[in-house]
């Protein structure tokens, strides 16, 4: 069991919703957990094989007429057990992310204020665009409510609102900070 790698659990979680091919999984991740998780094919295909080798999934080739043959992976009981074990496990302390934007902001005194203001505006635009994506996802979830989704929906919406809360906080902070730095660049008068 590797110390860091959580890819296996992301894959097990997706497989738990039904049989998928490697290609499927990649697309599925983008459409579901894409705003806080990502995987590349370079990870997915090798790890699917190790899941099979470990008995956590099975593979069988599906050759439907008029369609490219593909390898479908199905979670096993053992895989299901392992998924639940991990889900129940206490989450390790959050690793400190590396935030390039904050790194540049921290050293902002080195460059003209306009540079920092532009970084702030760009960061704000990014957060706005993320919010728009979330709104689209939310609209989509509201439309396609299948019975199979019902039990998952509250959890999916919760992760969505997490992203929204973060993005909204960033936007407010950008506005405050832009105002503060924008003001401070003006000459003081009458004081």
Q: Which residues of the chain form contacts with DNA (CB under 7 A)?
A: 2-7, 21-24, 27, 38-43, 45-46, 48, 66-68, 70-71, 98
Which partner, its own copies, DNA, none, binds residue 123 by CB below 5 to 8 Å per kind? its own copies
Minimum CB separation from its own copies for residue 136, in Å?
17
Nearest to its own copies of 64, 186 (CB atom):
186
Which residue in 93, 97, 73, 90 sits closest to 8, CA to CA? 73
Binding site partner of 56, from DNA, its own copies, none, Cβ cut-off 5-8 A by kind: none
Q: Which is nearer to its own copies, 50 or 81 (CB)?
A: 81
Q: How far is the CB of 11 from DNA (least distance, A)?
A: 11
Site string for its own copies, 8-47 (x = CB under 8 A): -xx--x--x---------------xxxxxxx---------
d(CA 49, CA 111): 50
Kindly state the tokens that stand for 62.
């599906």
What's the closest the beta carbon of residue 71 comes to DNA, in angstroms?
Answer: 4
Binding site for its own copies (CB under 8 A): 6, 9-10, 13, 16, 32-38, 83-84, 86-88, 90-94, 96-111, 115-116, 119, 122-123, 126, 151-152, 154-156, 158-159, 161-162, 165-166, 168-170, 172-173, 176-177, 180-181, 184
């Amino acid at each position: 069991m590797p110390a860091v790698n959580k890819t296996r659990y992301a894959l097990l979680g997706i497989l738990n919703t039904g049989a998928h091919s490697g290609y499927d999984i990649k697309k599925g991740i983008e459409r579901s957990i894409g705003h806080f998780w990502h995987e590349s094919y370079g990870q997915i295909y090798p790890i699917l094989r190790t899941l099979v080798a470990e008995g956590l999934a099975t593979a069988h080739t599906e050759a439907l007429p008029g369609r490219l043959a593909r390898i479908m992976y199905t979670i096993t009981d053992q895989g299901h057990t392992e998924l639940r074990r991990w889900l129940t496990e206490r989450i390790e302390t959050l690793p400190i992310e590396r935030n390039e934007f904050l790194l540049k902001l921290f050293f902002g005194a080195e460059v003209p204020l306009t540079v920092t203001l532009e970084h702030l505006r760009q960061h704000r635009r990014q957060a706005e665009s993320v919010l728009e994506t979330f709104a689209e996802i939310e609209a989509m979830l509201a439309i396609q409510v299948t019975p199979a989704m019902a039990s998952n929906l509250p959890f999916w919406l919760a992760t969505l609102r997490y992203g929204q809360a973060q993005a909204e906080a960033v936007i407010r902070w950008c506005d405050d900070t832009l105002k503060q730095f924008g003001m401070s660049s003006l000459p003081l008068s009458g004081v």
